[in-house]
Structures are given as C-alpha cells and as structure tokens.
Structure 1
C-alpha cells in the first residue's frame, strides 16, 4: 500500500504510523512501538504464552474485528488488509489489540467495486481465503475468512498449521473434534475451565461462519463485531455470578450446549490453501 494511504488511516486498533522515507526507490515505514508483542507470541507455548484468560481473548477479538471493520467501512477508499493473522495483531501494555503490517493491503478504487482482481495470490499459509485462492478475486470477505482462523486460534491456543502431535489445518482439527460434541476437546486447556461455555460456543459459531467456503455467506466485520460483543456479555454475566447452581469449577454447565453445538455449520468449511 502507498505510504500516502497509510498516513490517512487512523484508528485505535490499528498500529499508528510514525513516519516513512524513500531512498533509492526503497520505502521505509516506521510504526509505533507496541510493548506486549504479537498475539501469536501470547498464545504460543514455545514463546511462553498462554497466560491470556478468556475475557482478555474476547476483548482482543473484538478490538481486532473493530480495526478490520474500520478498514472495510470507515476508510475511503475501502482497504483490504490481505494478511490478517495473529502475528500481525500486536498488544500494547494494556493488552489492547492493534493490527499491523499493511504491506500486502489493497484498496478499492471506488466503493462500487465488488472485488479487486490480482495477478498472484499472496498471504500467509493457513490464513488464505480458498475462494480468493481459486478466483484471484479479492474482497473484504477474504479478510473475514482469515479472521475466522484467528478466532479458532484464540479458542484453541493452536497455530493455523499444525505439525505436532498431528499435522493438518486448525479448521480440520476443530471440525473433527466438534463432531463429538465435546467442547473440552477444542478449548485451550490453559484456560483451565475458566469461561462460560455458551460464550465459547458462540465464538466457535462465529468462526465457522467466517470460514464458510462461499464468501457471500460470510458475515461482514460489522456483524462479527456485534456478535462478539454479545459473546462478551455472556462471559461478563458469568463473571458476575450465577445463582441457579449450574456454575461449577468456573464453567457454566448449560443444558443447551448440545443444541448449540448442533447449530455449528461445519459442512461448508474447509482448511485454507497455502498462498503462492
């Protein structure tokens, strides 16, 4: 993306541009320092991550979604990030999320355009929208797909491409375990059961809608923000305490969980292709 476009983008959940310079046709861009590193580092066991609780993860999801919503709806012309991933979501000293790295971003020339045609598919393995990969036609729903993968990372604590103890894609891994309707097989064990199960199920439901193979059936980022805020409200109500006796060891045991699990649309989700 042109530096002139970057300089006009201002949102609390986007990493701020400090300055840029051009020397011998090489553009250097300087962003604000973000103290707590990337979300991937904060989720990775190898990096000593995993200390984020569920409410913190939900807030990070909402803040990231808000940043993407601004790029898609608040910018003129609209901006597609094209490389949404947990290593491009940085956390400040208050653990507030900020989207970084706009090097692959594309803008629509006019608001009336439905997509941007590209000569080559770029992005990060595990996050690339299958529809974009097949058609070379990029739109905001490609970012929505990538964000769906990010949501699954927040739930599971796993990276998008799995290599140990088994290989595959996080979408496949989640789908296989959801068929057993056992949510404990999907949720990051480092959360130690400290979450409302209905909140978790809702986020998985949102993620599955984001990674639908048909981009037209994916939600907009505005809809995702609204749904994630509803999930946070569910989690907040649990933290205020439940008086019906179903709160055991930090987990709200809802009798509707099996019904909710059945709503998850897994038939239209597949793992993302590798970028070229």
Structure 2
C-alpha cells in the first residue's frame, strides 16, 4: 500500500534534511502540540521559492500502527482543498522518520482550549466556527469533483483548529475512510475508533460507520460550544460525565438554560442552533440530517446573531427603551391596540423618536411575540433588515427599535389608516375617490418595482405579504409597511423554492402554492388581488367571494372579466351611478377609460401562471396612464 501511495504522491515528498533545517533539528522550543501520534513542531520551509510557516507532525516510533494512519492522512488530505480544512504541504518518509507537513494555520490552537471561556470566544465567534466546520464536513461528505466522499471518524473539539482570525480548520484525518460516491449513503464495516464522548453509538449496533457517524460527533461538538464544557469529564457524577445524553435530556425538558453558557444570544439563534445539535444526536441514523441541512440551519443562526450585533453597533441612535414604550402605550393597553396576527401585535403611540426629538410623533409599534419556535424573532429581524436597507418614499421608514430581554419591537411612522380600513369602513370608502385609489395603487406599484428591480448591489426583494392590511395610507401617499416574510435574492438569482408555503391564503400566488416556486411574479399576483380590492371596495376575504361556487376574489375577478360582467357584478357601488338596473354605468367624475385600463392590468396581474403576469415596470406604466386619464378628465 505504502509503495503505491508514495508513487502517486511523490510530488509531495520533502527530504528529511529540509524538515530538520526547518525545525532547527526538531528543537523542543519549536514544539507547539502533540498527542498519541507524536509531537508537532513549528518551522519555516521553502516551498516553490517562498518561505512558508509550517507545522511538522512527527510520528512517534512507539505509536504502533502509525504507518497506516500516516499514509491515510496524506492520501486523504492531498486531494482536499477547502478553506476550513488544514492545508497539506507534503510529507517525509525517510530514515525511519514519518512526518506530515501542514501549513502553520492553527495559530490559536484547538477549539477545546476555549470551550469554557465566553469572553475570548464569543457566541458569534462560536457560531462562525461551527458554520466553518459544517461546511468542511459537507465538502468531504459530498465528494463532488473527486468521485469519492470521506468519512472523518474523529470529529471532536481537539481536531478543530483555529487560525489568527478564529476561523476553523478541520484536521485529524488519520482515521478517515474514502467511500465511492455511489455508495456514500451506505455503512462501511469498521471497528469503533474515535474519542470517548463523541462516538456514534450506532457503530456498535451496526458494526460500521457512515457519514451520519460524523454528524453525531459534530452534534456533540455543537453541545460543547453551547455548554462550554468537554464531551467527557471523568471526575464528575455519572449522570453528568457524558455531555450528549445530558444535552438531550435538558433539551427534552426545555431546560437548556441550566447547562448552557450565559451569553447575549438571540432567541432565534439559540433555537436554531440547539435544534441542529439535537437533530445530529438522534439515536436512529436515518433521522439525523444531512450536512447541507445543518449548514443552512447554522448559517441562519449566525445571521440572526450578526443582525443583533449590527443593530447594537450601527443603529444605536434608533434604540428606544422598553420602559418608554410601556409608558407610551400604558402597558400595551387595548386603547392603543390596532391589530395582530400569529406573531406580531400592532399598537399606536405618541413618542419622541430619535430621528426627530423636537416634537412628539404618532408612530406604529410592532411588537413581535416571543415563542418557543423562534419564528417571531426571525420575522422581527427580517422586517428590520429590509426596512433598514430600503430607501424609497413608498416604503415605511424605520424610526426606532427595542431589543431588551425577549422583547422585539419595531417603531415605524404611523399613518392615519391602513388600506384595509378604507375598504372596510363605509364612511372612509365613500371618501376614497377613484383618483385617490389610483394614487395609492401607483405608490405601492412604485415601491414593488423598486424592491424588484432597483435595489443597490443588484439584489432582489420579494415581499411575499402584499395585502391591504400591510399598506398604510395618509392624505398624501401610500407605503408598504411590512416585510417580515420577505425573501432577499442575491444578484443573478430570480427565483427560490419553499418546501412549505407562507403568506396570506387570500392573496397567495397559486403557482407558488402548488410548486413552492417563489418569484417576483408572486408579488405581482398579490398586488393584483389588492387592485381588485380597490376596484371592488371589498377585502379579499369578504364572505361574498367565499360563497359556494367561488374560491376567492381573484378567481371571481377572472371569471367576471372573461364574461364581461365585472363592472356589473364586482365594481364598488360608490363608483357607479345610482338607481340604474344592472348598473355598469360609471358615475360622473370617474373616467371610464381609466377604469378599463385599471381593470385590464389588474386582470393580467392575477394570471394563473407566473410567466403570464406582467413585470412591475409594466404595471407602473399602465397605472400611470390610468391616473393620467383620470386627472385630465
């Protein structure tokens, strides 16, 4: 085996003389670590004419069987190139010496050295380390471009090394196994090898290992990160020696606070992280997630924490104390209540806001409700992030926020009413002229066109919850006031997929509902429903649209448009002449051409499929023409 490997990897072989020179003849002053395998020496080696800092791991001759592990590590590392995996420079196999030479990247030592120190290793740093290791494991498991995947078999906090920037570098591949990508989901028969406290209990039951064994071990590391202690402590009570079962017990009892490190972490971050750890520790391998799922969950946990840190560092002037909000709403009295959904309750209040201390302002207060699933906090951060990066006159402006304990509150400029009030209140609807309706719709269309096409850095935002109760109106303009469900797409990406659809069912894009495919055109559909609400003077969930034979406002709107009966059956009576049987006559002061152009673009917006719908640029143009026809009447 060794001779075959040497032939294949001959280009990585480094003469012993150069290694001796690089480490100053293995001077004890250059020792930076060690273990059963042998000592690790720091040094400098000339590589391709450039001096490189190295870490030379010298196999102890007393380590029986070390030759197999030596060649295993070289063979595996030689084909792995990833920012979170320790880089191999070469090896030496000469005069009885066996030495593995890596780049000296682990300047901070191993993760195990910092587990109990939340000051040196903050929660956000811990999350970043976990994401790095998860990405490394996803890379070795996938086998993309190599034809084989790798099972590490020795994931623990000592084989996770840290560089100057506290970035993770996965090491310790001496026990790893290569596996064909065609068999990567199968068990490989193998003896139980690893570190106490980290080993997958299924190894004994099945007589072998799989990628899910690495996932179990990584779950134990996640527990160490959260709890600030090692996986196995021999000199404590029996029940507390092994961290994995201790974590599972407290997770099931919802008492993780009893064993975790105290730190300033967001609830959503903690929930996502602990859920990931728990899923990794499932006894049944089949129930453990794949590494890609873990990466996604940990990245979300990191993003929540980063958003909190960003708020604290960059949005300090907008911070409003919870006590101030409590006093202004009289402890969230019903007198200040506006409305609510499953995760947020809205109030109005009069308050001095940070951006304008010269006077008291009436503001909209969105109090996101804490929950065991962390969804409320997730929506809070999404809403705040989008409102903070958007700069458009028809998008509500963030005036303040509160993050204290479990409280997550956003403060927005309040307007007289939501669009839903103009449609459901008879008095307001009677004053809601056709010209005002067109202006409101054009304002919202401009805002949607902005988030779809004109964002900086070429990103795209899909709002996902365009509805009349998320549009706020005053005498001058309308604004979109809610982005809690929004999705931000990076440049050159125009769609994403959801396994579970979210949004208001009365406005939901039918193609998204059935396929999970989310595009800008999904917002166009929602907006089309709003256009029909404005035209008809009724909300989308009005019982008249849900009666037998109808399935909602959009479906009824399509039917009436195709039958040519829309003006008779659906249009708001306040826009028609009174006292006329089968009345389709537009009242004086309302331009019929304007109404018909409006109806045509509204009908296009609620087309059944995404590719049949217009872009928001087209919608804006059509609404501008409809408004022009009305004002030039």
Whether the aligned pair in 1 keeps the contact of 2:192 and 2:208 (CA below 8 Å) is no
Shift of 1:164: 5.1
Shift of 1:28: 2.5
Partners of 2:85 and 2:91 lie apart in 1 by 16
Could you tell me whether the CA contact under 8 Å between 1:80 and 1:143 is conserved in 2?
Answer: yes
3-state secondary structure, aligned to 1:209: helix
SS in 1 for 2:148: coil
Question: What is the Cα deviation at residue 8 of structure 1?
Answer: 1.4
Question: Which residue of 86, 107, 110 corresponds with 1:38?
Answer: 110
8 Å contact from structure 2 (residues 77, 87) kept in 1: no
Distance change >3 Å, CA 67–CA 110, structure 1 → 2: closer
Q: Deviations over 1:224-261 (max 9, x none)?
A: 101111111221222233868679xxxxx96213x56x
Kindly state the Cα deviation for residue 101 of structure 1 after the two structures are TM-superposed: 1.1
Name 2:174's counterpart in structure 1: 103
Aligned counterpart, 2:371? 256
Instruction: Select the structure that is richer in strand.
Output: 2
The offset of 1:173, in angstroms, is 1.9
1:125 and 2:240 equivalent?
A: no
Unaligned runs of 5+ in 1: 248-252, 261-276
Give the corresponding residue for 2:336. Answer: none
Query: Structure 1's 119 and 143: CA in aligned 2 closer, same or farther, altered over 3 A?
Result: closer
CA distance in 2, matches of 1:43, 1:2: 26
Cα contact 1:22–1:28 (8 A) shared by 2:
yes
Partner of 1:132, secondary structure, is helix
Equivalent residue of 1:162, what SS? coil
Structure 1 stretches of 4+ with a deviation exceeding 6 A read 242-247
1:29–1:115: structure 2 CA closer, same or farther, 3 Å change rule? farther
**What is the TM-score with the length of structure 1 in the denominator?**
0.81
In structure 2, the residue matched to 1:58 is 127
Partner of 2:305: 235
Could you say what the CA RMSD is over the residues aligned between the two structures, in angstroms? 2.6
Aligned equivalents of 1:109 and 1:36: distance in 2? Answer: 35
* Kept after mapping to 1: 8 A contact 2:184/2:211: no
Q: 1:77 aligns with which of 105, 129, 148?
A: 148
CA drift of 1:184 comes to 2.3
Unmatched 5+ residue regions in structure 2?
1-71, 313-318, 324-367, 375-633
Report the counterpart of residue 246 of structure 2 in structure 1: 173
Structure 1 SS opposite 2:196:
coil
Secondary structure of the residue aligned to 1:255 is: coil
The equivalent residue for 1:272 is none
State which of 197, 215, 218 in structure 1 corresponds to 2:267: 197
Alignment of 1:136-215 (within 5 A): 136-163=207-234, 165-167=236-238, 168-189=241-262, 191=263, 194-215=264-285
- Of the three residues 280, 290, 294, the one matched with 1:220 is 290
Quick one: distance in 2 between partners of 1:244 and 1:184?
Answer: 28
1:90 equivalent in structure 2:
161
Q: Greater shift after overlay, 156-165 or 32-41?
A: 156-165
Based on CA coordinates, which of the two structures has the bigger radius of gyration?
A: 2
* Alpha-carbon distance change, 240 to 117 in structure 1, aligned in 2, over 3 angstroms: closer
Matched residue SS, 1:22: strand
Distance (whole Å) between structure 2 residues aligned to residue 171 and residue 70 of structure 1: 25
Q: 1:182 to 1:255 in 2, by over 3 A?
A: farther
Larger relative contact order, structure 1 or 2 (CA cutoff 8 Å, min sep 6): 1
1:28 matched to which residue of 2?
A: 99
Q: Secondary structure at the match of 2:120?
A: coil
Aligned with 1:8 (options 79, 85, 89):
79
Q: 2:73–2:175: 8 Å Cα contact kept in structure 1?
A: no
